[in-house]
Structure 1
Amino acid sequence: MRIFIKYKLQTILFVFFAYITLGSIAKAENIENVLQSLERLEKNVIDLQKRVYSGDNNFEITADNNLDGNFAAFDMRIRDLENEIKYLNTYVEEYIIRIDELNEKLNDLLLQQSQNLINNNIEKNNLESQSETENQDQSLGTLSITNESSTEQSVELQEVKDKLLPDVSPEEQFQYAFDFLRAQQLDEAKIALKEFININND
């Protein structure tokens, strides 16, 4: 008799702990119903434990009639709890499948985005290299046509291009050159900083 009660207590406790761990995922109204049922079961189990371990012989005589009814009620309730746990398991499994599908879609999107970025960078580099080769072709053609007077003009233009800084204080000149860096105009920034160093080398 005690072994049977001990087995039932272990089963109830197992169901109780399993339900608690899965209960955080279930709907709120189901959780409240289950918790109330578990509290009732826990009270009944505590009462049974007190009677079994108190050594009361009268319990065996008087409670034999009631035990069968109580065990049947416990069995029914345990089956109900097991069914609810199965329902919760299917509910959890559905969400796990949905989460896995969302993770796969997210990974696909991230892969596609990185591929698009790589393709954009390749296209940008190709366009830049094409424009550089076109500029070089045009500049070579101009050099072959130029004469001495145009060479002097190009030297003057180069000097004007090399002089980017305005005639202001050294702090303002440095700020002006630094603004080219901020604007990502690296060639102009390089020329302006060299000019700043040449002018303010002291």
Structure 2
Amino acid sequence: MFNYKKLIQLSLILLFSFLTNIVSADNHNISEILELIQKDLKTLEKAVYAGSINSNNQKSTNENSEDVLTRHLLKLSDIENQFQELTNKFEEINFKLDKLSNRLSKVQADNQIRFQDVEKVLSSGEINQKLTSKTKKNESKNLPGSSTPQDLGSISYKDTESEETTQKIQSVETTSSIVTEKFESEKNILPKVSPEKQYEFATSFLKVGDYNTAERAFREFVINNSEHKLAGNAQYWYAETFRIRQLYTDAATAYLEGYQKYPKGEKAPINLLKLGVSMVQIGEKEQGCKMIEGVEKQYPKANQSVLQKAKYESKKFECSKQKT
């Protein structure tokens, strides 16, 4: 900024020189001296004006620079705050991921233990022993469709004797005719066609609710076509005929046989689930729950309806409390 004190000093010096010139200018023209003074004043005015302009420009430049710097500092401060928030969120997400990873590891370890328990139970033969003992306690006489699976192509003496007892009011010829026809029908229930047609034939009895005949048909199919791709399905429906009639011990035996013979069949996941449910229903809750909860572990790619059903049955039978 221009100093006005210097301007006053210069003015006084000029005035002093002017007076000195007047005193010493005996032979000079006063008008020439005044012209010189005017020129000096104009030169001085130009210098003062130029100095004031430079001062104003410099001041405005400084002010603009300060404004720009202030704005940049504010933006940097906002960026720092946003970066801090993102860092906090990132750390929070990492913490949650660590917790989730730990939980998944625990669940996997727990499922592995349960699956090993299921394998041990199924391979030890303990279930077979318990099912046999349950059968001996519950049955009073040996009837087809209860106890262990029988040869459906034959008929026992007791069955023939009971049939004849109910027919005493009829003639001897009528009675022998009835017994003979039933014996022949039990001997060959499936038609002599392809396995696929036989499977459809056995399934037709389920559709009409004739579960006794369906039991015999599916059992015969499994015996005659044990290596066929539909054998696992037939074994499952064979077990279902017992479950529908609430013969849970026989159902559990049939499901167990299906799991052991056809562990990779189409019906294997639902077969294991029904085996677990049947075990719970005959009083073996601990082992039944292990099988129910082992369905998802052993068959993770099973149909979602089966997996959801397994979770429902586990909750229904309070299998989580059974572990504690």
TM-score range, shorter chain: 0.3 to 0.5
- Greater relative contact order (Cα 8 A, min sep 6): structure 1 or 2? 1
TM-score with structure 2 setting the length = 0.28
Based on CA coordinates, which of the two structures has the bigger radius of gyration?
Answer: 2
